[in-house]
Structure 1
Amino acid sequence: MEKFLTNIKYSTSDTKVLLVLLLTAAAANAQSFHAGGCPKPPVQEDFNITKYMGTWYEIEKLPAWFERGRCNQATYELQEDETVGVLNAEILPNGNINSIKGVAKVKNVTQPAILGVSFFIGAADAPYWVLATDYQSYALVYSCSHYLGLFHVDYAWILARTRALPEAVVCQLHDKLKNAGVDIKNLTASNQTSCDERK
């Protein structure tokens, strides 16, 4: 969609109308929407993708329209072709399990913490940047897409190997996002309660 939008020629009035429509849609979906280009936070140095594999539980996030439930988790598995199989799952308000499979790829072997992930054939990869992780307890992930050079929509996830994370660690990860120029005022705690009722 981003490439499609950048190839269209808009008049000034068309651009203003489009911007208002996108702002309205972003607000309706409680997205983290900002003027200007994406921040470029530093990513995890010497990232080891093998150690990162396994299941991570969502502790906090910036709003994401595609997440509607609780007990959100992501499981990553290294494939033979060196891509990463992704399985995201959540429990919907009606008690049903919602899951989706995708594929993540390292974009540049010299920067293994910068991946692109796709959940639909033919869809452009979404950015998936691992900003920090100790592999055993926490991970901080950031994603940002910019449109028309006018605004960007970003996502951030604080993840853990368990369904809870010490507040001190969460605060450190907040600071890391803030220092990278990411607006964290819309970060919300994820609901990881009663998750064993459905598997």
Structure 2
Amino acid sequence: MSPVYLLLLLLPLVSAQTYRWGPCPTPNVQPNFNVQQYLGRWYEIEKLPASFEKGKCIEANYAMRSDGTIRVLNSQFYKDKVMEVEGTAVVQDPREPAKLGVSFSYFTPYSPYWVLTTNYTSLSVVYSCTDVLRLFHIEFAWILGRSRFLPPETVRYAKNLLTSEGIDLVRMTATDQTGCKDN
């Protein structure tokens, strides 16, 4: 199968994502990442498009399970109801704990969930990228906060960090966090 034909077959799958030619960049991640401090609720402030995130009031809640994996509970308000999906995150290499893998199905491999930076108390910048035959890559990026809104200078800092790591933010959009109900 020619690469062009393969690309044409895959385009509908990636149309609601951000994709670029070539292999994934390899940004720096948070040094000395502490997963215990990272646990808890994070609100999505801005993101690169993701087909699985169409609603508002998007948040993720991370909790340690007894088997050492991390429970990931993502929720969003979409079509007049709260929609939740539960997944699992794992530290894939203890030498690089900021490079987590996340899966939302027993049948799918772990996708990268790299914490580029966090102060644990207010801001986290996360990046995910998957190569497709090294011809192009599908990428996601999230700016997360411990509160539903971050100061503009904090968002600028996060965007500058992503840009400095070679991540194109032209498609980044703000997440609607207005009128949300807290659990």
Q: TM-score, normalised by structure 2?
A: 0.96
SS in 1 for 2:131: strand
Deviation at 1:128, TM superposition (A): 0.3
Aligned to 2:157: 172
SS in 2 for 1:183: coil
Aligned to 1:26: 14
Segments of structure 1 that go 5 or more residues without pairing to the other structure are: 1-9
Aligned to 1:3: none
Identity level (%): 43
Determine the C-alpha separation between the residues in 2 that align with 1:192 and 1:177.
22
Q: What is the number of residues matched between the two proteins?
A: 183
State whether structure 2 residue 32 is matched by structure 1 residue 46. yes
Q: Which of 1 and 2 has greater Rg?
A: 1
Q: Compare the two structures and name the one with the higher strand fraction.
A: 2
Deviation at 1:122, TM superposition (A): 2.4
Matches within 5 A, 1:12-91: 14-27=2-15, 29=16, 31-91=17-77
CA contact (8 A) 1:23 1:33 kept: no
Deviation at 1:26, TM superposition (A): 2.5
SS in 2 for 1:20: helix
Segments of structure 2 that go 5 or more residues without pairing to the other structure are: none
Determine the C-alpha separation between the residues in 2 that align with 1:85 and 1:144.
21
Following TM superposition, the consecutive aligned residue runs of length 4 or more in structure 1 with deviations greater than 3 angstroms are none
Deviation at 1:126, TM superposition (A): 0.7
The residue identity in structure 2 corresponding to 1:26 is V
SS in 1 for 2:177: coil
SS in 2 for 1:195: coil
Determine the C-alpha separation between the residues in 2 that align with 1:26 and 1:106.
26
Aligned to 1:136: 121
Q: Compare the two structures and name the one with the higher helix fraction.
A: 1
State whether structure 2 residue 152 is matched by structure 1 residue 181. no
Deviation at 1:22, TM superposition (A): 2.4
